């Protein structure tokens, strides 16, 4: 499924659970983001919480490498 199709579904109100490394895409379409590290939820919150105000050192490290 393409990112555009997923975005269209989300824009039309469909609830979607996505596992992705496409962080820009996740930030754009998500209402809630969970960051997992080694199979454990390390941090969760709104896109702003995670992408602008991450607290977990592993989240911060990962995002600094991919954004």
Round the average pLDDT of the chain to a whole number and report it: 94
CB-count exposure of residue 42 (10 Å: 0-12, 13-18, 19+)? middle
Q: Kindly list the domain boundaries of the chain, sorted by start residue.
A: 3-66
Residue 67: per-residue pLDDT: 87
Q: What is the mean pLDDT of residues 51-59?
A: 97
pLDDT at residue 31 above 80? yes
SS3 35: strand
Q: What is the mean pLDDT of residues 32-43?
A: 96
């Amino acid at each position: 499924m393409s990112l555009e199709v997923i975005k269209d579904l989300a824009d039309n109100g469909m609830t979607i659970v996505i596992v992705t490394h496409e962080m820009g895409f996740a930030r754009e379409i998500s209402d809630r983001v969970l960051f997992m590290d080694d199979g454990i939820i390390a941090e969760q919150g709104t896109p702003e919480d995670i992408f602008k105000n991450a607290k977990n050192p592993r989240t911060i490290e990962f995002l600094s490498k991919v954004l």
